[in-house]
């Protein structure tokens, strides 16, 4: 009964690790350890070289990137050697994680460091640490707060964009003639670059002297149709251009939501005697709320980054009336080479956006629960 005994043993005890597997695990750990130590050593040498502590080092930071790539490869190989099949599975995720660390997490952390520097590219003495001075300066910067105030207007304008987009989505969801054609036509603005829109519309169609929009406005009785010379008109004009590009995005998401609506609910409302408005307000709109909130949040995120149209058409004017935080940071960073302060402004804005969106998500989540 040797065979049955062996089968019984196999059911209660793990097979003893094969010697080559153990060696492979040790080799894997050694590989990761050596790669990590090597990478840290190269990084340390370059930091000491850059700070002037030692003479040896590289002329630039590119070798550190190569070291990171080598370490990443070693880490991947090491995972397979140490963890076998599970290591292989990890390889599906590891490159994405390492890539995210390299291009998102590290730059963000590095941004915090840059934001703590007094670094003007024209300064003969180069950058130096100035702690929270950039943050303090930011609180006294009237241009920054003016731009934030404008962002409030631009963000609230998203609600109007949403209303228009909802109307268009409802229209395209009905059985109208040439529905497919209109769906494509309404999507066209979304395919245009905002820079192209700035030139085609802002600097051509709305041009004061020869623009067709200005000519039309004159024929309608507006003597001096200057779209960008008065604060509120300029703000409205900028937002109209941005809205024209973005409404199709909101519309297409809402349209997808509408098409997924259960027909029975709407038919039941009809049977109960609800008119069109009641059917929309008490049935369609509440059911569409999750889609609406998702698209509104995405649109607000896009809106908070508004810069290109402003930079091209008004440069923030007249007198800062159309300035956005991004277009102001662009001037601080690009025209004034004020790297430390510009980065500080950007980091603070990032934190504001994160807080704002977190609060918004929490509030909408509560609202959704109530609706549910």
Partner 1 sequence: MTHQEFDRHSPAGPNRRTVLKGAVSAAALGSTAGLGALTGPALAQDGLRAQISQIPGIGKGAPTDADWQKVGELCLGPTKANVQAGEFKGVELSFMGLNNQNLHNLLFRGFLKPWEAYTGAKISWIDLAQADYNPRLQQAIATGTVDFDVLEMGAPFEGDVCGKGLASEMPDWVKKQIDIEDYVDYLKPPVGTWNGKTYRVTIDGDCHNFNYRTDYFSDAGLAKAWKDAGNPGEWGVPKTWQQVQAVTKFLKGQKFKGQNAYGYLDAPKPWGGFGFYFLGSRATAYAKHPDDKAWLFDVDTMKPRINNPAWVRAIQDVIDALPSEPADQLNADPNTTGFQQFLAGIGAMIPWWGDIGQVAKASDTSVVGDVVGFDILPGSDDVYNAKTGKWDKLASGPNHAPNCAYLGWGIYVMARVNGDEKKHKAAWSAAAHIGGKDLSLWTVMYPSGFQVHRASHFKIDEWVAAGYDRKYITSYLNSQLGSYNHPNRAVEPRIPGIFQYYSIAEDELAKIFAGKSNAQTGADNIAAAWEKLTDQIGRDKQIALYKASLGV
Given 120, 155, 215, 364, the residue binding partner 1 (CB under 8 A): 120
Q: Report how many helices (DSSP H) and strands (DSSP E) the chain contains, helices first.
A: 18, 2
H or E element, residue 98: helix 94-100
Taking the alpha carbons at both ends of the chain, their separation in whole angstroms is 66
Segment lying near partner 1 (by CB under 8 A), choices 11-19, 37-45, 99-107, 319-327: 319-327
The closest alpha carbon to 324, from 337, 312, 309, 307, belongs to 307
Given 89, 334, 362, 366, the residue binding partner 1 (CB under 8 A): 334
**Number of residues binding to partner 1, judged by CB under 8 A:** 37
The closest alpha carbon to 241, from 183, 200, 297, 300, belongs to 200
Given 38, 170, 331, 360, the residue binding partner 1 (CB under 8 A): 331
Nearest to partner 1 of 189, 320 (CB atom): 320
Nearest to partner 1 of 158, 238 (CB atom): 238
36 binds partner 1 (CB under 8 A): no
Given 32, 81, 82, 118, the residue binding partner 1 (CB under 8 A): 118
The closest alpha carbon to 155, from 147, 165, 144, 164, belongs to 147
135 binds partner 1 (CB under 8 A): no
DSSP E strand boundaries for 290-352: none
Could you tell me if 289 and 105 are in contact, meaning their C-beta atoms sit under 8 angstroms apart?
A: no
217 binds partner 1 (CB under 8 A): no
Segment lying near partner 1 (by CB under 8 A), choices 22-30, 32-40, 69-77, 219-227: 219-227
H or E element, residue 129: strand 128-129
Scan residues 257-316 and list those touching partner 1 (CB under 8 A). Answer: 313-316
Q: Which residues contact 187 (CB under 8 A, 6 or more apart)?
A: 248, 252
Could you tell me if 372 and 365 are in contact, meaning their C-beta atoms sit under 8 angstroms apart?
A: no
49 binds partner 1 (CB under 8 A): no
Given 107, 131, 286, 319, the residue binding partner 1 (CB under 8 A): 319
Given 123, 155, 215, 364, the residue binding partner 1 (CB under 8 A): 123
Nearest to partner 1 of 154, 227 (CB atom): 227
Could you tell me if 74 and 63 are in contact, meaning their C-beta atoms sit under 8 angstroms apart?
A: no
| Three-state DSSP state, 275 | coil
193 binds partner 1 (CB under 8 A): no
227 binds partner 1 (CB under 8 A): yes
122 binds partner 1 (CB under 8 A): yes
Q: Please report how close the Cβ of residue 265 comes to partner 1 at its closest, in angstroms.
A: 51
226 binds partner 1 (CB under 8 A): yes
Nearest to partner 1 of 4, 122 (CB atom): 122
Distances, alpha carbon 173 to alpha carbons 110, 180, 193, 260, in Å: 48, 10, 27, 11
Nearest to partner 1 of 150, 246 (CB atom): 150
How far, in Å, CA of 208 to CA of 210, rounded? 6
Q: Which positions touch partner 1 (CB under 8 A)?
A: 59-60, 118, 120-126, 143, 208-209, 224, 226-229, 231, 234, 313-321, 331, 333-339
């Amino acid at each position: 009964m040797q065979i049955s005994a062996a089968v019984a043993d196999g059911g209660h005890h793990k097979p003893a690790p094969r010697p080559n597997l153990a060696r492979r695990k040790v080799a894997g750990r050694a590989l990761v350890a050596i790669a990590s130590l090597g990478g840290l050593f190269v990084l340390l040498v370059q930091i000491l070289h850059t700070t002037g502590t030692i003479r040896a080092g590289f002329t630039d930071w590119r070798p550190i990137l190569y070291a990171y790539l080598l370490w990443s490869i070693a880490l991947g190989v090491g995972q397979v050697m140490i963890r076998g099949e599970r290591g292989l599975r990890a390889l599906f995720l590891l490159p994405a994680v390492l890539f995210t660390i390299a291009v998102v997490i590290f730059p963000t952390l590095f941004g915090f460091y840059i934001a703590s520097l007094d670094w003007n590219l024209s300064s003969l003495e180069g950058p130096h640490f100035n702690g929270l001075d950039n943050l303090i300066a930011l609180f006294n910067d009237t241009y920054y707060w003016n731009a934030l105030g404008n962002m409030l207007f631009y963000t609230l304008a998203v609600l109007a964009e949403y209303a228009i987009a909802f109307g268009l989505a409802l229209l395209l969801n009905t059985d109208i003639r040439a529905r497919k054609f209109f769906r494509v036509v309404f999507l066209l603005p979304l395919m245009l670059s905002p820079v192209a829109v700035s030139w085609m519309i802002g600097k051509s169609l709305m041009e004061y002297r020869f623009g067709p929009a200005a000519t039309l406005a004159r024929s309608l009785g507006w003597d001096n149709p200057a779209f960008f010379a008065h604060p509120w008109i300029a703000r409205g004009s900028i937002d109209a251009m941005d809205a024209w590009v973005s409404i199709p995005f909101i519309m297409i998401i809402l349209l997808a939501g509408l098409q997924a609506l259960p027909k029975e609910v709407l038919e039941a409302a009809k049977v109960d005697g609800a008119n069109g408005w009641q059917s929309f307000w008490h049935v369609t709109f509440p059911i569409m709320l999750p889609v609406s909130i998702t698209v509104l949040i995405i649109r607000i995120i896009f809106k908070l980054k508004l810069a290109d149209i402003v930079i091209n058409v008004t440069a923030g004017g007249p007198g800062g009336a159309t300035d956005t935080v991004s277009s102001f940071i662009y001037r601080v960073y690009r025209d004034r080479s004020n790297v430390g302060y510009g980065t500080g402004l950007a980091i603070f804005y990032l934190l504001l956006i994160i807080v704002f969106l977190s609060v918004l998500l929490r509030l909408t989540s509560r609202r959704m629960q109530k609706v549910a």
